[in-house]
Structure 1
């Protein structure tokens, strides 16, 4: 069995994920990672800036909202991602359509179990189907709308589902139904209602992005192709890494891999998998060590379930209680610290693993460059971690 060392994996990651900042456009960055995490809208912009020295905040906005070459989509693990627009049919078939079915069953179950205020008239499943159709018509009339505007047009969206367990919170149907409809490919998240860091957006009809509707893709082929893309960008890795990233069952993951030319490798003591015919063979040149500031929920550290091979410091300082990673500071493919933006717009860093003078100087330059490119914006990540909080509070 061929052995792949931690050094080999880090070297491939730095090159494939453009951690030296050599990517040209937001689209190139996104393709190099399969997708960008978009739960926190600011992470999309910061992930691009970290990998493309030539891109600006305006360039990212233009890709998302002017060219519409990138689109936010509900996909793996019920998480928002940004994908290249041409990849959405594949993603829809591979993960989003099954996810929509789960979300629909969950909403029906909540209505049946918890009831609602006012009560749903008749069968909850039929009620949801009819409300979806009315929401689509309302959105088509407006062309673009916030959730609040749609609720004004369709008051049934304000139906309240009370809590029936300590772990639950009362909720309006609005968020659950619109999330379900987006996962089903019936509407699209459009422009933000505020600045680029805003977590609120407008909805648009699917026909404004795909006039003839989303093209149909065979689910089995879509799962195979998604697994191949992930292995090309994140392999070699473990079976569990792929299963975690996609949110698939063990059976679905195995079926997808069974259609691919897979080689079993020794990942520095663990069994891993890699493609026998990778799309990008590694170069012979050793990449120069580079400093990179990646945002919270960046797709690189969130690309694997097992992360020990690139963690140079205690993981407890980098992750929140839900397992989400905060801002990370990288040197030569290894996380050695964190960073934060102060309330005054200054980028501050903390290094917990000393990697020498060259690393310290490169990190200082990278922080200064990012501060300049942020143009005074203050970014507070959605995933607040102990280390990031300490840097922010220290600067107050």
Structure 2
């Protein structure tokens, strides 16, 4: 029996709470609390990665900034060591995008999301692959990367020997989406570069994929990390469709609310839901931060007026600042010889108190990212 399972009873406090409407600030503070953005936590790094169900990793250093903004005294080598020790892996998962997750989670998440991977492949390369035996292509690619880890450039070259008319990008995309590939070190290690080399998750960790992932447990964990949330939110986060039936199975143990638009929100009964007036200190979020990509309605964290300034037309999600819990600008590091400048571009007019707090947090960020350089925080005028 699941120790977190709670059954709703007529006349209970849960039933009364289910009638509540949660406005944007209530949803904001609930999400920040679960994302460890109201207060940094002191936990083992691996526990944090699992608590958040992974970290977005399209950008090499994104997971490091994500952990720094959420943890007390986080240092880069704490995560780098986990990658080298194979306790966490980088691979395509939610929404068919790169994530860094714990190794046990990878074995659950990858098979659960297989339909997402296949749909992504069809959407991007369906026409080019329509006459290809995908099973044979996947088997060939799997053997190649299991015999020797390869970059996509190397893999594409080998595949062209058997499929000379197939574009290399389509061939390697097929292997990426049909075979559970992981990027092996030094990819993902702070301060190290180079093209990503791939092998299969099973070969890297000497274990088979979970034959029947526990979807209900994974959804509970999503709610613990991102809730309260609608069914559509869960589907946007995962990339999956058709989750209504699973949610109905979970309904008896969950509590429900409504947002200001009337949409039904699901949540775990004992999850934190701080008051909307709870203070939220300034935070710096790295590129592609999970909190910006895990809900259908992002108004709990990002005003739609600023969306185009954060989500670029070429698919980059810029690094952002949070003021009073909401996205209020972007930031970037500019390195010039032995000097690193933190340039902050606010969307709003900052009070002196907000400016001072943001500057102090920025100085801590610079010490984390470039401790040996001279440093400067510059806040651009609006």
TM-score, normalised with respect to structure 1: 0.77
- Taking the TM superposition and a 5 Å limit, the aligned residue runs for 1:178-257 are 178-181=175-178, 184-185=179-180, 187-192=181-186, 196=190, 198=193, 200-218=195-213, 222-249=214-241, 252-257=242-247
Cα distance in 2 for partners of 1:58, 1:13 equals 28
Aligned residue number for residue 277 of structure 1: 269
Cα distance in 2 for partners of 1:226, 1:377 equals 41
Q: Where does structure 2 lack aligned partners over 5 or more consecutive residues?
A: 1-18
Q: Deviations over 1:269-313 (max 9, x none)?
A: 4323123534x3447897543111001210012121212233366
Aligned residue number for residue 383 of structure 1: none
Displacement after TM superposition at 1:98 (Å): 1.6
Is 1:176 aligned with 2:182?
no
Aligned residue number for residue 107 of structure 2: 89
Q: Contact 1:30/1:36 (CA < 8 Å) preserved in 2?
A: yes
Q: Contact 2:310/2:317 (CA < 8 Å) preserved in 1?
A: yes
Displacement after TM superposition at 1:341 (Å): 0.9
Matched position secondary structure for 1:370: helix
Compared CA separation, residues 154 and 276, structure 1 to 2 (3 A): closer
Displacement after TM superposition at 1:212 (Å): 3.6
Q: Deviations over 1:150-206 (max 9, x none)?
A: 4455543774546xxxxxxxx54442133124xx43x32212459647473111243
- Taking the TM superposition and a 5 Å limit, the aligned residue runs for 1:59-208 are 59-64=78-83, 66-95=84-113, 97-102=114-119, 109-111=126-128, 124-125=132-133, 128-142=134-148, 144-151=149-156, 153-156=158-161, 159-161=164-166, 171-181=168-178, 184-185=179-180, 187-192=181-186, 196=190, 198=193, 200-208=195-203
Q: Contact 1:100/1:180 (CA < 8 Å) preserved in 2?
A: yes
Cα distance in 2 for partners of 1:207, 1:153 equals 21
Is 1:289 aligned with 2:280?
yes
Cα distance in 2 for partners of 1:159, 1:173 equals 12
Q: Contact 2:96/2:117 (CA < 8 Å) preserved in 1?
A: no
Cα distance in 2 for partners of 1:242, 1:67 equals 31
Comparing 208-217 with 285-294, greater Cα deviation is found at 285-294
Matched position secondary structure for 2:263: strand
Q: Contact 1:33/1:233 (CA < 8 Å) preserved in 2?
A: yes
Q: Where does structure 1 lack aligned partners over 5 or more consecutive residues?
A: 114-122, 163-170, 379-390
Matched position secondary structure for 1:189: strand
Cα distance in 2 for partners of 1:103, 1:310 equals 27
Cα distance in 2 for partners of 1:275, 1:194 equals 33
Matched position secondary structure for 1:9: helix
Is 1:53 aligned with 2:53?
no
Compared CA separation, residues 339 and 158, structure 1 to 2 (3 A): farther
TM-score, normalised with respect to structure 2: 0.79
Tell me how many residue pairs correspond in the alignment: 351
Displacement after TM superposition at 1:340 (Å): 0.9
Is 1:31 aligned with 2:50?
yes
Compared CA separation, residues 52 and 158, structure 1 to 2 (3 A): farther
Q: Deviations over 1:336-391 (max 9, x none)?
A: 2211111423112123324533221111011111112112799xxxxxxxxxxxx9
Cα distance in 1 for partners of 2:98, 2:288 equals 11
Displacement after TM superposition at 1:86 (Å): 1.2
Q: Contact 1:157/1:174 (CA < 8 Å) preserved in 2?
A: no
Greater RCO, CA 8 A, separation 6+: 2
